[in-house]
Structure 1
Amino acid sequence: MSDGDISNAREAVLKPSCELPEDTLKIRGYDFNQGVDLQAVMDSFITTGFQASSLGLAIQEINQMKEKRLEPVEEGEGKETDEYRSKAGCTIFLGYTSNLISSGIRESIRYLAEHKMVHIYYVS
């Protein structure tokens, strides 16, 4: 690849930002700390940037993880503590790309981490 090709690629990709019209919707997700209101969650999708086609698959996966975490653990010394129980069923990893933080999904990620609903999270 020549220097000219690299320069052309930069010009095509790296464009200066411009002002958005005043009536542009701001990207913001649902704040689960205000309770779970299904209609409000659905209404928030217009500003969330979330792809609805993936919603059903995500719900199924989350339900499987919740079921696994609720499986009984063996009795024994120290095994009745919440700390052990939260680690016994499964470890929930949350991986996401940095662009999700600039979308309305950031509020959902914050809620999950804040309420210890994920054990490990990784940004790529």
Structure 2
Amino acid sequence: MRFPLFVDAVARRAELPTDDAATISRAVLQTLAERITADESADLAAQLPDDVGGYLSASDRGGATGAAVDFLYRVAERAAVDPAVAEVGVRAVLTTLRETVTVGEFEDLVAQLPRGFDAMVDPIPRPPYDV
């Protein structure tokens, strides 16, 4: 999935204009890179096209901590949008990531996020059981 397709998926999910979805997508990926380990960032980026995964390289990786609300405010600041718009965008980006990478990789990502993120991450669907 190239970045324009990723952005289109985010725009549809968040019901945002494409330009806004692109800005928020970049902000979310860059902020995620600050929150996860360098190894996890590299693993996640490896499953994404270069033009998407490239936003996961954080030059100032300090292993930033904090609640989900801090993450939202950082994304809102980075994307120059209202925190409510940032929240819709974060949900859309995380859902798009969930559908783009393997289940195991997405679980690894979510495991490194604070508990407050549970509300922003839709559960990973289980495969249907054969009856």
Name the TM-score, length of structure 1 as normaliser.
0.30
Higher strand content, 1 or 2 = 1
Normalised by the length of structure 2, the TM-score is 0.29
Structure with the higher helix share, 1 or 2: 2
Structure showing greater Rg: 1
